[in-house]
């Protein structure tokens, strides 16, 4: 079931369109889909896709070309679709690019204090520490360099904790570093009335691994 929107959802996912930018996505079945662009970050593109095409979907490995007007800026770049949701008669999907885009499209990047876009999800994760052993928590959003946890117990900031993401058919081993925590979580619509909301940093390789391999329920916008 889709999760209601909360304040942790990145505003770049919820509205707008970058004019004059078009992405052509080529799926493994050779279907080519023309997509409008909602947002661009350092290594990812958020696409607006017509539902009728049925592509691309989360988990697809694809190639794509990117145009600004009639000018081709990228050709046959590889990527993976790692997140998707619906919005009326369209779908919003996030594409992780194998190459960095910030220099190529610096003039198109939306100003935001976080370079990477945050995606709302609902993923179970096991976190291990020396005091409580292994405990269950939930990831309620992630980016390529961070994630937000909901946990019944607090985590000490600036410490590294082994974490295991539980997917439908695989386990993903990460290391998270809490940077802040809040004890009041009622403002988060996903959460129960007690517990902790914890913001964590990820090393880039862990964020990329999570974006490429997670299997979870995405939160609705």
Residue pLDDT, tens place only, 175-189 = 999 999 888 555 454
Q: Which of 34-43, 116-125, 172-181, 205-214 has the highest mean pLDDT?
A: 172-181
State the pLDDT confidence band at 2, using cuts at 50, 70 and 90: very low
Residue pLDDT, tens place only, 19-73 = 888 999 987 767 888 999 998 887 889 999 886 656 787 778 889 999 989 999 8
Work out the burial of residue 154: count CB atoms within 10 Å of its CB; fewer than 13 is exposed, 13-18 middle, 19 or more buried: middle
Please tell me the distance from the alpha carbon of residue 110 to that of residue 163, in angstroms, as a whole number: 31
Per-residue pLDDT at 84: 87
User: Tokens 């619906």 identify what position?
Assistant: 86
Q: Domains, the chain, ranges and CATH?
A: 11-108 (2.40.10.220), 119-218 (2.40.10.220)
Please tell me the distance from the alpha carbon of residue 221 to that of residue 218, in angstroms, as a whole number: 9
């Amino acid at each position: 079931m889709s999760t209601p929107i909360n304040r942790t959802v990145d505003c770049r996912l919820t509205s707008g369109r970058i004019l004059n930018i078009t992405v052509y996505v080529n799926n493994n079945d050779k279907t080519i889909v023309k997509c409008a662009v909602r947002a661009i970050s350092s290594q990812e593109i958020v696409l607006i896709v017509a539902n009728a095409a049925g592509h691309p979907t989360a988990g697809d490995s694809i190639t794509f070309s990117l145009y600004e007007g009639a000018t081709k800026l990228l050709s046959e770049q590889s990527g993976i679709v790692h997140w998707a949701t619906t919005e009326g008669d369209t779908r919003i999907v996030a594409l992780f690019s194998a190459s960095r885009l910030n220099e190529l499209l610096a003039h198109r990047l939306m100003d935001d204090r976080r370079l990477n876009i945050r995606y709302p999800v609902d993923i179970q994760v096991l976190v291990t520490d020396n005091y409580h052993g292994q405990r269950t928590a939930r990831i309620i959003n992630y980016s390529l360099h961070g994630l937000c946890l909901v946990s019944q117990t607090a985590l000490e900031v600036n410490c590294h904790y082994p974490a295991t993401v539980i997917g439908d058919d695989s386990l993903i081993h990460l290391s998270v570093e809490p940077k802040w925590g809040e004890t009041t979580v009622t403002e988060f619509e996903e959460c129960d009335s007690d517990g902790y909301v914890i913001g964590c940093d990820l090393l880039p390789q862990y964020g990329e691994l999570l974006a490429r391999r997670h299997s979870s329920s995405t939160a609705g916008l």
